[in-house]
Amino acid sequence: MALAAGIGLMAFPFKTMRAFWRWVDLCEQGGIDSIWQTDRLVSAVPMLDCMSVMAALAGATKQIKFGMNVLSLGYREPLEVAKQCATIDALSEGRLLPAFGIGSPLSPDWRALGREGEGRGKRTDEALALIRRLWAGERVDFDGEFFHYRDAHIAPLPAQAELPLWYGGNNKASIRRTARFASGWLGGPEGPQEAAGVVRDIRAACKEQGTCIADDHYGAGFFYRFGAADEPVVQAHLRAARARRPKRDPRDTFVAGGSAQMMQRVQEYVDGGVTKFVLRPVGADDDDLMKQTRLMIESLLPAIDALNKRAAA
C-alpha cells in the first residue's frame, strides 16, 4: 500500500504560460507522481480549464500522471466527458486519473449557467453510470430522467483497460455514490480527522453494497509552504481560505514549516486510511513557486519514499 504525492493547482498562479510549462517540466523531471487541476468555469481570477490542461499535459509530458480535482458532473454531458477522457488517456498511453464530483455548491458556475442545484445528485448518478459503460466499450441505449441515449458509443477506448474513476465529496450522498460507482475517493477540504471519517464511512458503504475500493485508493490534499507560518504570503493564503469557507479552519489543510512538519501531517492522514496526496504549493511569485516545488522534490518525496520502504520492510 504505497504512498504517492502529486501536486495541484487551483487558480493559475504564474505570470506567464512559459513559467507554467517550466513548472510542468520540473514536476516531471523531479519524479512527482501526478499533476492535478481544479475545475472551474467562472472565476474572479484566472483558472485554466481542467480538461484542456489534461489534453495539453498528455502531449507535453512522457511519464507523469495527471487528473482533474474534481470535474463537476452536475452540469456536464456524460457522453462528451467519456469521449474526452478516453481520448486523453489514449494520447497519453494510459496516464489519465479521472476524478469527478457533483460540483461545489459554492461555485459561481451554477448561476452563470442558469442551473439549479435541485436534481443534480440524480443527474450525477446517471452520468457516472453512463461514463462507466461507455469506457467499457458498450453500445448504450438509455432512458433516464436526465439523459436519453440511442446507440451511444466511443472509440478509441481508454488505453487503461480499467480506467480508474475517482470521486470527491464528503456528505452521505457522496459516500454512497463513491461506494457504488468509484474505484477511489479523492478528498478536498477535509482535514485528517474528517478524512478518516469519510474513509471509514465509504468502506462501510462498500460492504453494504457489495462493492470494493482498494485500500490504496483513498486520497486527500493540503496546501504547503516550506517556511515560517508568519510570512505574509502564508497569512494572505489563510485569510483567503477563511473567506472562501468561513466554517472551516484553513490550518487543517495547510502546513508551513519543514519536511518534518509536513510528514507529520502526512502521517495523520495515513493513520486515517489515506495513501494518495495532492499537495498545493503556496508561493509569492513564479520563482517562489518553483522553489517550493523543488523543495517538495528534494525534501518531501525522499521522506515519503523512506516511509514506503519502512512499511514494506
Q: Residue 232 region, left (φ>0) first, then alpha (ψ -120 to 50), else beta?
A: alpha
Distance CA(240)–CA(235), nearest Å, equals: 9
244: its cell numbers: 472562501
Average the pLDDT over 279-301 and give the result: 98
Distance CA(66)–CA(45), nearest Å, equals: 23
188: its cell numbers: 478536498
pLDDT at 151: 98
The per-residue pLDDT for range 168-183, each reduced to its tens digit, is 999 999 999 999 999 9
Helix (H, G, I), strand (E, B) or coil at 3: coil
278: its cell numbers: 495532492
Domain boundaries along the sequence of the chain: 4-312
4-312 — its CATH code?
3.20.20.30
The per-residue pLDDT for range 210-247, each reduced to its tens digit, is 999 999 999 999 999 999 999 999 999 999 999 988 98
- The confidence band for 278, taking pLDDT boundaries of 50, 70 and 90, is very high
Q: Where are the beta strands (DSSP E) in 86-231?
A: 96-97, 99-101, 140-143, 148-152, 166-167, 184-186, 218-226
Cβ proximity of 40 and 109 under 8 Å: yes
Alpha carbon of residue 265 to chain centroid = 18
| Contact residues for 23 (Cβ-Cβ < 8 A; gap 6+) | 14, 289, 290, 293
